[in-house]
Amino acid sequence: MDIRTTCLGVLVMGPASGYEIRKAFEAGPFSHFAEGGFSAIYPALGKLTEEALVTCTVETQEKKPDKKIYELTKDGRKHLIAALSAKMPGEDKFKSDFLFTLFFAEEMPRDFVTEAIDARIEWYRNKVEQLKACEGNPSKGRHFVRLFGIDVYQTEHDFLVRHRQDFINLTENPGKNDIPASARAAE
């Protein structure tokens, strides 16, 4: 799914500036399954405006850059639903430097692994809390997608809590980060 379609999706929630769309990806309702930075969003909004799938209203602000509010047009809405229905959604993409690192836990410094896992446990705990807290009166699709997120984050959290010590036990370097295992074998 390209960034233009994703932007249209965010705009279904209501008119927004590029900055606000970014926030929706970073911390908002879309943050668990979509992403995009400014350098992708701004050009995308430009093209969508050209194609009349959104309108752009410039709100002049004193002593701040003008705020450009983008709003979905009827055509834009149709286009979004058409794009989503065009073919079955492709596979999810999950990329985790954290798991990649743990894959090599046996070669990693013990302190590093401990810190990484503890930080991640806390991060997941936070995510679950955040998602549980955001009640309000969302669309029902949004509601169920949120429940999905809670389930997954909770599972990941629980797994790490359950296997924290297992991972730490794999590491070979209790604090002596710079002595390779080969040298230590002589001890």
Partner DNA sequence: TTGACATATATCAGATTGATATATTTTCTA
Partner DNA sequence: TAGAAAATATATCAATCTGATATATGTCAA
Question: Looking at 38-46, 102-110, 153-161, 167-175, which segment touches DNA (CB under 7 A)?
Answer: 38-46
Partners of 57 in the β-ladder: 69
**42 lies in the site for DNA, by CB under 7 A:** yes
Residue 52 CB, nearest approach to its own copies (Å)? 19
Residue 58 is encoded by which pair of tokens? 């410039």
Residue 52 CB, nearest approach to DNA (Å)? 18
Which bin fits 67, alpha (ψ -120 to 50), beta or left (φ > 0)?
A: beta
The CA distance from 168 to 120, in Å, is 14
Residue 60 is encoded by which pair of tokens? 């002049």
Residue 60 CB, nearest approach to DNA (Å)? 11
54 binds, among its own copies, DNA, none (CB under 5 to 8 A by kind): none
Q: Which of 8, 24, 29, 36 binds DNA (CB under 7 A)?
A: 36
Partners of 72 in the β-ladder: 54
Indicate the residue among 65 and 90 with the shorter CB distance to its own copies. 90
The CA distance from 71 to 103, in Å, is 45
User: Which strand (E) or helix (H) includes residue 74?
Assistant: helix 74-85
Residues engaged in binding its own copies (CB under 8 A): 1, 6, 9, 12, 29-30, 32-35, 80-81, 84-85, 88-109, 112, 115-116, 119, 123, 139-142, 144-145, 147-148, 151-152, 155-156, 158-159, 163, 166-167, 170, 177
Residue 36 CB, nearest approach to DNA (Å)? 5
The CA distance from 39 to 30, in Å, is 18
